[in-house]
Amino acid sequence: MTPKTLTLAGLAAADKVYDGNTAATVTGSLAGLVAGESLGLVLDGRFDTKDAGSGKTVTVGTALGDGAGGRAANYRLDPSATTTAAIRSRPTTRARSTGPRSPSPAPSSPAAAWSRASASTASR
Q: How many domains does the chain have?
A: 1
Interval 76-110: pLDDT, tens:
999 889 999 999 999 887 776 666 665 555 555 55
Domain with 31 in it: 4-88
| Stretch among 18-22, 49-53, 89-93, 112-116 having the lowest mean pLDDT | 112-116
Residue 97 lies in a domain: no
DSSP state of 110: H
Interval 37-73: pLDDT, tens:
999 999 999 999 999 999 999 999 999 999 988 899 9
Bridge partners for 63 per DSSP: 42
C-beta separation of 26 from 83 below 8 A: yes
Residue 119 lies in a domain: no
Bridge partners for 65 per DSSP: 40
pTM of the model: 0.70
pLDDT at 117: 46
Region at 36 (left for phi over 0; alpha for psi -120 to 50; beta for the rest) = left
* φ, ψ at 52 (rounded to 5°): -65, 150
C-beta separation of 84 from 67 below 8 A: no
Amino acid at 26: V
Residue 110 lies in a domain: no
| Element spanning 62, H or E | strand 53-65
Q: What is the mean pLDDT of residues 27-35?
A: 95
Residue 95 lies in a domain: no
Closest CA to 22 of 71, 54, 57: 57
